[in-house]
Structure 1
Amino acid sequence: MKLSPAFPALWCSFLLLWISQEGNSSDVCTFSPNDNATGLDACEELPNTSKAVICLVYPTNLLNCSWSFHTLDQDAELSVSVRVSENDELVDSRLQGSAKRVGFISWMLQDGEHREVAVDFNVTLRGAWMCCRASFDDDSLHIIPPPANVTASVQDGSLNVTWDAPSESFPPHCFNYQLDMGEQEKLRNFSDKLQHLEPNVVPGHTYKVRMRARILEFCFGCTQWSEWSPTVTVGEPSFRLDPLVIAVISLGVPMMLLAVLLLLRHQRLGKVLLPPIPRPPEKYKNFLEKNDPLNFFHPVSTIKSEEEITEVEDAEHDPGATN
């Protein structure tokens, strides 16, 4: 069965519209006017600069291939096939027979070297068919690990951050780094160095430092950002109470206040510790001695002393007395 001459023109127009809406004029796919052209050789290779398809192998050996075709016609039928090869030999594959315009395929790979991944997209719309392929070599697949041995310290009012290169497979100038210093801080971007000095840090402020890295495009590696490194906390508050200091303050201050209070009232201290012996009045003394409650309100009896009168008589002088 021959297709109408209008079909190639229609599909070319559809292709140009799709490409223009994707914003990448290099994402070119070949539309087959032959319904029987279903072989893999009929797929057109997408350029490496295409951002519509991304495949990554993480350090945990997880393969993840994702795609995004937002402007693809709603009526189009899409199937996705992912094939993994080692040394030009097929070792694993996955297929989504009915895929969405935005989706992904991921699974854990076995240990291996020199991997290559090919992702084929088969689109069928109104009886016509097209195929696109995105290929990834081993260097562009492996996402690099985060920078190692990240350290941070505050010195002379500046934050000093050091780290090690994430990989020895690339020269130092191939790495692009991103530094995160915590909340409300802008990300810092730099490359070709292993140390950064951030001036004018806030005294007493706590910084939570972490970093990630990627390969620059001219070095022909994976240009995706790595995961963040473990967070390093630096810049503890300038004044921090020790639990022992808190305990001493809690017990010592009340004791000091008590001592001051006792010193101010030292005159009453003796009366509190050695109270005076009670001494009843004289009028109650007799009552207490007799233990007679009836005489409690009677006046104390007084004993008058008897007066002794001594009479002295003057003897008259006898003139006839002789010595």
Structure 2
Amino acid sequence: MNSAMERQEILLESGTNEVEIIEFYLGGQSFGINVHKLREIVPYEPEAMTALPESGPSMKGMLLLRGKTVPLVDLGSHLRKRGQGEPAGRQVVLVCEFNREVNSFLVDGVNQIHRISWKDVKPLDEFFTPYKPRFTGCITVDGREVMIVDLEHVISEIFPEQTILGDGERAEEVDDFKRESRQEVRILVAEDSTIIRNQITSILKSSGYVQVTAFINGEECYNGLNMLKAEAVHKGKDFREFADLLISDIEMPSMDGLTLCRKIKSDSVLKNLTVLMFSSLINEQLAHKCQEVGADGHISKPQIHALVKMLDEYCLK
């Protein structure tokens, strides 16, 4: 696993629009998550787990891991993929870190790591619309469908305080001068999660940043930027008259945030656009990768008010 993690470091370093997905099983069905969220895989030891009274059915308890306790979520129970009876093999725990928090997930087993392009991640069929918030898409591997689990959404359903919305409910007091200045700023948002995209847009607008244009992934955003560039060139105007700043997620189908940023900073017209990476994956290693592709700043979800303050620093000079 360590060598796989090292390979993934190289993958994301240059913004190649590639990602490594680890495949695991729940009730005989294949699922996957981004390897970058995974800290380690450990055997499930029931004696190392402390059950929590009156917790939800998918909240298994607290897992003791090298002297520290972390929440343990029964992912099969939460996704309703646990069959009757006990799993055939020995279960394992995926210890993950995102949103500056460590959580662990009980699964029935793991298969292998698959290196894919974000372009290979397909949107879910309309039949799965009611379940979409828990999945970001699917990939086909050796003839089988692997559903990509949105762990951030799963955790938000169990721990609402770890979400952007939970942080955003503490409204900021904004003076009239700052609010008026914010209204002049043109902001773009690239975020594939409908829920998070709407939350970011809502909070920005309530803070005074009312000119917000949102895109569902990096590719849609890049196409939108090229349309603005063509308009700026046609009218003989500076591109910054059309867009001041981009807030981009990193994990997105079709084109990820690192690739989007690299393309922007490599373009003679777009390169002066301020790009801020806003992602649950931000840590020391990924912060370095953000710098490598030319991002002007980065911040970890769910720090929405810290993001607003960062916007002020870049846009209200």
TM value normalised by structure 2: 0.22
More helix by share: 2
Relative contact order, higher structure (CA 8 A, sep 6+): 2
TM-score (norm 1): 0.22
Larger Rg: 1
